[in-house]
């Protein structure tokens, strides 16, 4: 699995007249922390304390067995609520995954690598956090058929990209007349045509550019056909340390 980069942008605004600090996370309602006379923070408003953004690094398909979940609760950086909770993955009330949450050293949000059995397309997966005293909002995801994300006109005759990793760089091997095709599902985002054999074409910068926008599938194209096999890269989630 590719190394994930993780980014949470916090914006703080001090209100002198009201004695509160507004802590904002992207796409979230503000959470107001009461201030003691010396400026120390105490508990946030009860109604906003347990709402989380759950961000996944890939589309969940009928072939998915592992993925990463990033979760944040609108600025509770000091002693975050999820430290006493567990991340749960359920289908039809059955627990597929459960593990106590932690915050990786140096980060301000939680993230966890998840492994589950493959699920049928159309199945609804529920993701949430729960402790002995509370339960967070629930994120529901519908499992997709992997074929809805793959390019058409794929044949066995064309071999999938041969990827090698050296140092911090990624390379593929390509033959003259072939093309490297990078797609986000059915959408092609980059095509590179090779006019000569290339034993080690560096794709690192391409991956860094597009992997921050979406998950990626890499194919070899020859004529109008694509390799049946592909190389997969999950979404790189940026988190500020």
The pLDDT value recorded for residue 12 is 29
Q: Which residues of the chain have pLDDT under 50?
A: 1-4, 6-48, 76-77
The tens digit of pLDDT for each residue in 48-76 reads 357 888 899 999 999 999 999 988 755 54
Domain membership of residue 190 (yes or no) is: yes
Last residue of a domain, one of 121, 146, 171: 146
Last residue of a domain, one of 146, 174, 197: 146
Same domain flag for 124 and 167: no
Half-sphere exposure of 184 toward its Cβ, with a 13 Å CA cutoff? 14
Question: 99, 74, 70: which is closest to 5 by C-alpha?
Answer: 70
The pLDDT value recorded for residue 104 is 66
The pLDDT value recorded for residue 71 is 85
Same domain flag for 224 and 139: no
Show the domain range for 209: 149-233
The pLDDT value recorded for residue 50 is 72
Kindly give, in sequence order, each residue whose CB lies less than 8 Å from that of residue 225, ignoring residues fewer than 6 positions away.
153, 154, 155, 157, 158
The pLDDT value recorded for residue 31 is 34
The pLDDT value recorded for residue 52 is 84
Same domain flag for 124 and 175: no
Number of domains in the chain: 2
Same domain flag for 62 and 76: yes
Confidence (pTM): 0.73
Same domain flag for 53 and 106: yes
**Residue 218 near residue 228, CB atoms below 8 Å:** no
CATH code, 157: 2.60.40
The tens digit of pLDDT for each residue in 155-165 reads 999 999 999 99
The pLDDT value recorded for residue 25 is 33
Same domain flag for 123 and 188: no
- Encode 148-159 in three state secondary structure: HCCCCCEECCCC
């Amino acid at each position: 699995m590719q190394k994930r980069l993780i980014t949470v942008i916090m914006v703080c605004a001090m209100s002198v007249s009201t004695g509160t600090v507004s802590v904002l996370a992207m796409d979230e309602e503000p959470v107001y922390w009461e201030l003691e006379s010396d400026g120390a923070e105490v508990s946030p408003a009860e109604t906003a304390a347990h709402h989380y953004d759950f961000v996944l690094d890939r589309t969940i398909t009928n072939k998915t067995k592992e993925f990463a979940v990033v979760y944040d609760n609108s600025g509770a950086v000091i002693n975050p609520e999820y430290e006493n909770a567990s991340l749960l993955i359920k289908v039809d009330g059955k627990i597929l995954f459960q593990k106590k949450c932690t915050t990786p050293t140096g980060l301000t949000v939680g993230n966890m690598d998840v492994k589950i059995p493959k699920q049928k397309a159309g199945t609804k997966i529920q993701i949430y956090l729960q402790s002995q005293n509370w339960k967070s909002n629930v994120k529901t995801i519908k499992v997709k058929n992997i074929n809805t994300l793959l390019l058409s006109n794929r044949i066995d005759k064309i071999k999938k990209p041969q990827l090698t990793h050296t140092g911090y760089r990624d390379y593929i091997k390509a033959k003259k007349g072939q093309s490297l095709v990078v797609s986000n599902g059915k959408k092609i985002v980059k095509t590179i045509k090779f006019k000569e054999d290339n034993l080690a074409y560096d794709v690192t910068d391409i991956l860094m550019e597009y992997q921050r926008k979406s998950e990626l599938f890499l194919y070899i194209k020859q004529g109008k056909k694509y390799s049946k096999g592909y190389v997969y890269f999950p979404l790189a989630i940026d988190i500020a340390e």
